[in-house]
Structure 1
Amino acid sequence: MSPTSHLPSAIGSPITEDDIANYLANTPDFFERHAELLAAVQLTSPHSQRAVSLQERQATLLREKIRMLEQRIMDMIRNVNENMVLSDKLLYWARTLFLNTDVQALPQLIADELADQFSVPQVGIKVWGVAPQYASCEFATGVSDDAKSFATSLTEPFCGVNTGLEAINWLPEPQAAVSLAILPLRGLPETNGAHGGVAPAFGLLVLASPDAQRFASTMGTDFLARISELASAALSPLR
């Protein structure tokens, strides 16, 4: 079969760019037989209006791909470093909680250490269903049944803008809260019950920032979920 057998008859049907592309793809030795064409081809540079050779254009494209790969590698390294920093802060925060011997001071300690370790402008916390000796403490009062139901309805931390939820009032400066992260506090999963194996919430952690993007609705919540789990475990002596 001759090289031109891949091309349609120009009389029967006009040759299209796709026909030419298919021909070249199916005839890899074409440029071996016509090597002079490679040197003669002139293309517009992607970075200027001057004409460059095919080889120079390919080299430019390869350099651009290398630059993009280097950027991706740097982003990956930066993410790894940031994750390591967060992990260290989480470990330090958890260690502080579990070394604490004053059970009644635990809720405020959780809030203060979160604000300090993770640079959160405002943190609020409420816990209910506590033992009788803690029922009159500030952290265990002022929570409506609606707020408790809302906490139980959360299957994962909620992130988004301030929409005036009751939990906002637990913050030192509610009017300064623009974006929020609301973390349900709950015990171990139930084996049977009305909540499908998920234990009812016994508290809420509220993180707030004046920055609308700090706790955006599109952010991942895995790290916040770990904070919720650790805080829930640390608070278990109150119940």
Structure 2
Amino acid sequence: MNSIHQAAMNPITEDDIANYLANTPDFFERHAQLLSQVQLTSPHGTRAVSLQERQAGMLRDKIKALEHRVMDMVRHGTENEVTADRLQRWTRGLLTTRDARALPIRIASDLETLFLVPQVAIKVWDCDAAYANEAYAQNASEDMKALATSLTAPYCGVNSGFDVAGWLAEPQAAVSIALIPLRPEPEAPAFGLLVLASPDPQRFHADMGIDFLERIAELASAALSRLRS
């Protein structure tokens, strides 16, 4: 009676059963008939399925999830390969441009063409006197220069009325924007600014990675050093 009383006071819980099965791996070997008798609800309907069928379904779901992950990895790898190829072609354009005077125009036009950026503008200041009359060396106000210097990294986000958007051919179409400061060294004041713009509000957004844009900034800054006095 005491054992019955104790059992009533301390009933076996689901956790007790789970722990027992986990610690008794040969249980179903000794009671194999139970496996065929266990019926579970299918996750894809209300019908009952056997334990083996449920396990097979769970395995299929895991395989499908792994397939999706592999496809995502392949897709991202392909996208990265395409981006790397475009960057290489853009860099090659910088290296093969003999006339330093044409460099800013080449930088902007190749960004538009190779990376399908709807609008690109560039301004460079503190240039050698030989380039002072070029369009890209003019109309950068002190406020715009200060904005460029204040950026410690490329800015990506909504165009909230930046004055530098006025450098674009169609400033009203610049919904999202990327501002890329150009500087000779990481801590030095900026000597130029690249402006990338799109009518797509998600093309340049605050949460996007900027590693690629930083590389663009470094390469463009190095190439444009030929214009400086």
* Same structural fold, with TM-score higher than 0.5 when normalized by the shorter chain: yes
Residue aligning to 1:5? none
- Note the residue ranges of structure 1 that are not aligned, 5 or more in a row: 1-8, 190-197
TM-score (norm 1): 0.89
Matched, 1:234 2:228: no
Q: Which residue of 76, 81, 88 maps to 1:79?
A: 76
TM-score (norm 2): 0.93
Using a 3 Å threshold, how does the CA distance of structure 1 residues 10 and 213 change in structure 2: closer, same or farther? farther
- Give the match's secondary structure for 1:172: coil
Question: 1:128-207 alignment to 2 at 5 Å?
Answer: 128-189=125-186, 198-207=187-196
Question: 1:51-66 alignment to 2 at 5 Å?
Answer: 51-66=48-63
Residue aligning to 2:197? 208
- Note the residue ranges of structure 2 that are not aligned, 5 or more in a row: 1-5
Using a 3 Å threshold, how does the CA distance of structure 1 residues 150 and 14 change in structure 2: closer, same or farther? farther
**Distance in 1 separating the partners of 2:127 and 2:79:** 37
Alpha-carbon RMSD: 1.3
Residue aligning to 1:101? 98
Matched, 1:34 2:31: yes
* 1:29-71 Cα shifts (integer Å, max 9, x gaps): 2222222111111111112221111101111111111111111
**Distance in 2 separating the partners of 1:219 and 1:17:** 47
Q: Given residue 43 of structure 1, which amino acid in structure 2 is its aligned partner?
A: L
1:144 Cα offset (Å): 2.0
- Give the match's secondary structure for 1:201: coil
Percent of aligned positions with the same letter in both sequences? Answer: 63
**Distance in 1 separating the partners of 2:67 and 2:89:** 33
Residue aligning to 1:4? none
Q: Given residue 222 of structure 1, which amino acid in structure 2 is its aligned partner?
A: D
Q: How many residues align?
A: 223
Q: Given residue 148 of structure 2, which amino acid in structure 1 is its aligned partner?
A: A
**Distance in 2 separating the partners of 1:187 and 1:17:** 68
Q: Given residue 46 of structure 1, which amino acid in structure 2 is its aligned partner?
A: P
1:102 Cα offset (Å): 1.7
1:149 Cα offset (Å): 1.9
* 1:176-223 Cα shifts (integer Å, max 9, x gaps): 01111111111134xxxxxxxx12111111111111111111111111
Q: Which residue of 95, 102, 111 maps to 2:108?
A: 111
**Distance in 1 separating the partners of 2:76 and 2:180:** 24
